[in-house]
Amino acid sequence: MRKSNSQRLYRGAAAVLLGSAFNHFGDRILGVQIEAFTGGVGYFSPSWVLDLFLVPFIAGVLVSLIYGFGGKWLSYLPSLIVRSASYFAIAHHLTGMAPGSSLMPIGWWGFYLILAIEAAAMGGVIGEVVIKRTYGRSAPHKPAEPVPPIRR
């Protein structure tokens, strides 16, 4: 049964909101602010790597599973929303930063934003593969019936 446009819109909005909430609370649980650079190699901690790659990946899978087919295209949005809101909040002093850290330049931040969005996109593709059990436009092929051996 085909979904109406309003059902797709509501399902898409719910998927993006839940993916954004997961991404935001994942950031808060890990305690990492990607936008606030502290300098040095110590900035790139294991929790930073999880926050930049794993949290958006899981959010992308979540969005794709909720929305259904086409969810891989919506999976870009939660990371874009959360990273942009976090940068804006730090830039306008709505969110505090750790002592000794500074707001990274927007060009550098854009690179990290692209990395987070690509991780979410991979999650979106994995979510669609889980739903469809194959990747691409065609349905999975049914295995052919076994052919009996030729008797001589």
Residues near 49 by Cβ (< 8 Å), separated by ≥ 6? none
Identify the pLDDT of residue 19.
95
Q: What is the pTM of this model?
A: 0.81
Handedness of CA 28, 24, 121, 91 (dihedral sign): negative
Query: Tell me, what's the pLDDT at 151?
Result: 82
Per-residue pLDDT 10s for the chain (152 aa) are: 566 788 889 999 999 999 999 999 999 999 888 888 877 676 788 998 999 999 999 999 999 999 988 888 999 999 999 999 999 999 998 888 878 888 889 998 999 999 999 999 999 999 988 887 665 566 556 666 777 778 87
pLDDT value at residue 12:
92
List beta partners, residue 103. 36
Specify the pLDDT at position 136. 59
Sorted by sequence, the CB contacts under 8 Å of residue 64 that are 6+ apart come out as 15, 71, 72, 74, 75, 123, 124, 125, 126, 127, 128, 130, 131
Q: What is the dihedral of CA 15, 17, 20, 25, to 10 degrees?
A: -110
- The identity of residue 144, as a single letter, is A
Q: How many CB atoms lie within 10 A of CB 144?
A: 6
Q: What's residue 143's pLDDT?
A: 67
